[in-house]
Chains A and B, each alone.
Chain A
Amino acid sequence: MTPAGLPESAQVVVIGAGVSGCSIARELTKYTPDIVIIDRESDVADATTKANNAEVHSGIGEKIGTLKAKLNVRGNALYDDFVSGLGVDFRRQGLLIVITPRTLPEEVAARMPRSVHDFVLKQVMPRLIMLNARRKGIPGLRMVSRAEVYRMEPHVTRSAVAGVFDPTYGMVAPYKLTIALAEHSVMNGARVFLNTEVSGVNVKDGRVLGVTTNRGDIRAPIVVNAAGVFADEVADMAGAGGFRIHPRKGASLLFDREETREYVHSSVSEFRVRGKTKAHSKGGGAMPTLEGNLQLGPTAIETDDKFDTSISAEEIQEIFDRFYYLLPDFPRSAMISAFSGIRAPTEEEDFIIGPSEAARGFVNVAGIQSPGLASAPAIVEMVMVFLHDLGVPRQPRSDFDPVRPAPPRFAELSNEERDRLIAGDPRYGHVICRCEQVTEAEVVNAAHGIIPATTMDGVKRRTRTGMGRCQGGFCGYRVAQILAREMGVPVTDMTKDGDGSWVFTTGKKTIAV
């Protein structure tokens, strides 16, 4: 449970409760419980992380020599250990990279005789991808013939020429992972303060003294800046900046599980060599989420607004157009949701991770965009070296609890397990979200979790209420009523996602006569 008042001091303050901040905080609690995580939003994982599209890349898409490439490959290798004990699903479903007649830019292909172009696509491109992977140390890639592409993924375009399968690629629900990391941190002594916004970083004589927030000051000799799209502004507060985050939007589309289960088995993306236009996206893909929904995306669109999580009609059309080619029969009408998030790239398009020289004790973890989710374990490893140098004990705690128990998820249990739960708590027999089969007990659990859900979206991220085909049309009022009851507040206090996002009006209902 999150305590009400801010503490006067902590050994480490982590700014930002996204996947980076919570990963670092969890690792810190293996050495010291005196950790405070603060975030401006009403829940953990409530900004860039919640709209991340869940891919744990292998590193295949990153430029050799970048920090991103190095940490991505390393992070992917560490992932099974990273998630163990968290009660979070992680699945290495692999990525099928498909080579098509569109793989080379038109202007390049046009200069080749047809036979040369065919040869390049069939023989050269797969080998280039394999070679690229080998140079980065990504294991297990294999070439896939045209026939095998269809055997693996029957819905892929018949124009496919060849493919490469990248088996270490996986998926993890970013918000579930982050909630689990935050809860695991709290179990081991950390404290989380939400709705807490940093307004200043206190530095004196080149040393960090702590942070000032809208809810008071916290003294701390070490401050980790994992503030996502605001990391540049927070770094400037400490005089440790000099870089700029330019927000880049990414939108994805989600489809009804009933219609699209096993539409694709691994993630599938079309390999396209970029022409003269500079693109900062791996191009996105089609992927089955852990729950079995088809997901398409993401896009990459520059914006000047760090809050611009809107999706335009053009963006939706762009995704459709892109995937009509790769997957000509994808069930367009089964789309149930579209979401968009803001990436946090720097001008250099690389991670900025390291201690500040201007403010000793201040550590930047900035510019964390894709593949930030995949890199998280390696970012942690890298940051811990600095944090130990700054004074975090090197001796692991003997009382660290390695297991964060995950609350039961009714939809995933056998009937015997369900019966056992219902016998103990009849609320497990009361299904309130019909599409995702979420029970009242699960909403109650979310409201009383280690990091309690306090909003409709908070419940949604923890239990999947409203994530199905009806998008909360049937369960919205029920979730609001159960959550309000468990929080001991009027239902009219409920918000979708924090201050300002009211769900019901508060005035007395008037009956017209």
Chain B
Amino acid sequence: MKKTRKPQLAVIGAGPAGLGAALAASGAGLRDVMLIERDFELGGILPQCIHDGFGSIVFKEVMTGPEYAQRFVEEIRRTDVEIMLNTMVLDMGPDMRITAVNDREGIVEIEPESIVLAMGCRERTRHQVMLPGFRPAGVITAGAAQRDINIEGLMPGRKIVILGSGDIGLIMARRFTLEGARVEGVYELMDHPGGITRNVVQCLRDFEIPLHLSHTVSFIHGRKRVEAVTVAEVDADLKPRKETERFVPCDTLCLSVGLIPENELSKHAGIQLDPVTAGPFVDERMETTVDGIFACGNVVNVFDLVDYVTHSAQVAGRGAAEYVLQGRKRQSPVKVVAGRNVKYVVPQFVSDLNRDVDFYFRVEHPERAVTARILADGKPLAGKKHKMVRPPEMLKQTTEALDVSTGEKTRELTVEVIPGGE
């Protein structure tokens, strides 16, 4: 009978979130931290993100994905964090029992004192956005295409149509072009780009790749390999308008139509998920609804910047350490409400108002000259003016120790974006 492993903390996933959490926990005094990763190397999705734009907040410099990951990899090698590569977590129960497998030890049973979930997210597929047509080879998600090209050295196509202007789609439009493929155009369902402005400029405009807003793919042609797609403008209900349909020959349809936090394990563990973010409800320490299980990074909600992923990971790692070392019990949580032009806020609860809290939130629709602010029972606490806010760009607002500053017990927090700003 194999011995069950009993670390102080098990971190599931060694992308930027898992690396950041394991390091923070180790730095906060946990001696026995286990970092579990299913891939053969550390870094998660970062090694395939060979474009720049990482680290401007955390390291105050502009780095590529592999460079950003390498900083953490080097740092973690200097700690006593146990790294388990090529190890897949098969299940996780409500009692925090983890079952994992690898090819060296076989089935590994782990009963940690605390857990940080850092599984990241997956890409939405063609069926999840209900794209009609045939099912030929050549329909690929942008992240998968990025892996093929940047890590595996394989080209998934020559003549590309991209659906969705999320950041990965924009990055891949440029990447495909640099690799000698022809990108026919990027088509976006909404009337605004899905990715951040920097990427629209640097990946499309600079390469003269057309962006067609309020458009979708209405049919995929080709029995064996993609031969063409039909594209069309959409009406107010986002349905294709037949009279605007155009036939666009191509051999590849690359999809950048959204990311979904990967929470299958979380569900098995009985963690409650927020229907808006599709990630766990968390409090200011990134603790989920199950005591001792924390979550950070894109498993909680899809962040726009890796720097924020790292921040949330550091909070979760320190939270887990505090939980293990001090056994701190949670106080009754205060709900954080998404107010005017706010789609959602993370964390959704605050248990301890006597500390600084970072709130991350997204707006529902683009708006000019606004103030984003946080209210405690209707009283404004902190606010910041913005020239322009857009759904793809996450907003961050920090509050200082609340109950200390207001001097009374807070019952509800609200985050809102209101007109009036720069």
By a beta-carbon cutoff of 8 Å, the part of chain A in contact with chain B is 258, 307, 309-313, 315-316, 333, 335-339, 415, 418-419, 422-423, 426-431, 434, 437, 456, 469-474, 476-477, 480-481, 491-492, 495-505, 507, 509-512
Contact = CB atoms under 8 A, between A and B. Distances in A.
Given A434-B88, A471-B125, A500-B225, A316 B132 contact: yes
A91 B133 CA distance: 32
A429 B103 contact: yes
B141 A431 contact: no
Given A310-B132, A491-B154, A501 B225 contact: yes
Given A338-B130, A469-B122, A470-B123, 9 more contacts: A309-B134, A309-B223, A310-B219, A419-B106, A422-B101, A430-B103, A470-B122, A497-B224, A501-B224
Contacts of B2: 419
B128 A335 contact: yes
A437 B268 CA distance: 15
A313 B144 contact: no
B348 interface: no
Contacts of A502: 137, 225
Nearest to B239: A313
A431 B38 contact: yes
Contacts of A309: 134-135, 223
A270 to B, nearest CB: 23
Contact of B133 (A310, A339, A431, A495): A310
21 contacts: A258-B267, A310-B133, A310-B220, A312-B219, A336-B125, A418-B106, A419-B2, A422-B101, A429-B101, A429-B103, A431-B88, A437-B90, A456-B137, A471-B127, A472-B144, A501-B225, A502-B137, A509-B149, A509-B154, A512-B179, A512-B180
A469 B240 CA distance: 26
For the complex of A and B, 10 pairs with smallest distance between CB atoms: A429-B103, A500-B224, A496-B137, A426-B103, A431-B88, A501-B224, A422-B106, A501-B137, A419-B106, A471-B125
B250 to A, nearest CB: 13
Contacts of A501: 136-137, 224-225
Contacts of A492: 154
A235 B299 CA distance: 57
Interface string B151-163: 0111111100000
Interface in B135-152: 135-137, 140-141, 143-144, 147-149, 152
A478 B178 CA distance: 24
Contacts of B397: none
A335 B129 CA distance: 9
A510 B179 contact: yes
B106 A434 contact: no
For this complex, into which size category does the number of interface residues on chain B fall? 35 or more
A338 B126 CA distance: 10
B74 interface: no
A203 B47 CA distance: 63
Nearest to B240: A313
A473 B126 CA distance: 11
A470 B179 contact: no
B76 interface: no
A422 B143 contact: no
Between B2, B90, B132, B149, the greatest number of chain A beta carbons within 10 A of the residue's beta carbon is seen for B132
A469 B260 CA distance: 11
A418 B107 contact: yes
A300 B140 CA distance: 29
B218 interface: yes
Contacts of B158: 505
B86 interface: yes
Contacts of A431: 38, 88, 90, 101
B156 A509 contact: no
Interface in B171-222: 178-180, 218-220
Nearest to A253: B127
Nearest to A315: B132
Given A337-B127, A470-B125, A505-B158, A310 B143 contact: no
A94 to B, nearest CB: 28
A249 to B, nearest CB: 12
Contacts of B125: 336, 470-471, 473
Contacts of A429: 101-106
Contacts of A333: 128
Interface in B211-248: 218-220, 223-225, 240
A477 B148 contact: yes
Contacts of A500: 223-225
A500 to B, nearest CB: 4
A474 B106 contact: no
B157 A505 contact: yes
Contacts of A474: 122, 144
B246 to A, nearest CB: 17
Given A470-B122, A477-B147, A512-B180, A316 B130 contact: yes
A337 B223 CA distance: 17
A501 B226 CA distance: 8
A308 to B, nearest CB: 9
B132 A415 contact: no
B70 interface: no
Contacts of A335: 127-128, 130
B289 interface: no
Contacts of B95: none
Contacts of A473: 122-123, 125, 141, 143-144
A477 B144 contact: yes
A434 B152 contact: no
B164 to A, nearest CB: 14
A491 B152 CA distance: 10
Contact of A503 (B107, B137, B149): B137
A500 B136 CA distance: 10
Contacts of B128: 333, 335-336
A503 B156 contact: yes
A498 B224 contact: yes
Contact of A310 (B86, B134, B178): B134
B152 A311 contact: no
B106 A423 contact: yes
B103 A427 contact: yes
A504 B180 contact: no
Nearest to A512: B178
Contacts of A495: 137, 224
Between A333, A422, A510, A511, the greatest number of chain B beta carbons within 10 A of the residue's beta carbon is seen for A422
A470 B128 CA distance: 10
B225 A418 contact: no
A383 B104 CA distance: 52
Contacts of B130: 313, 316, 335, 338
A481 B152 contact: yes
A316 to B, nearest CB: 6
Contacts of B272: none
A338 B129 CA distance: 11
Contact of A313 (B149, B155, B218, B267): B218
Given A336-B127, A419-B106, A499 B224 contact: yes
Interface string B278-294: 00000000000000000
B123 A338 contact: no
A396 B77 CA distance: 67
A132 B212 CA distance: 57
A316 B147 CA distance: 31
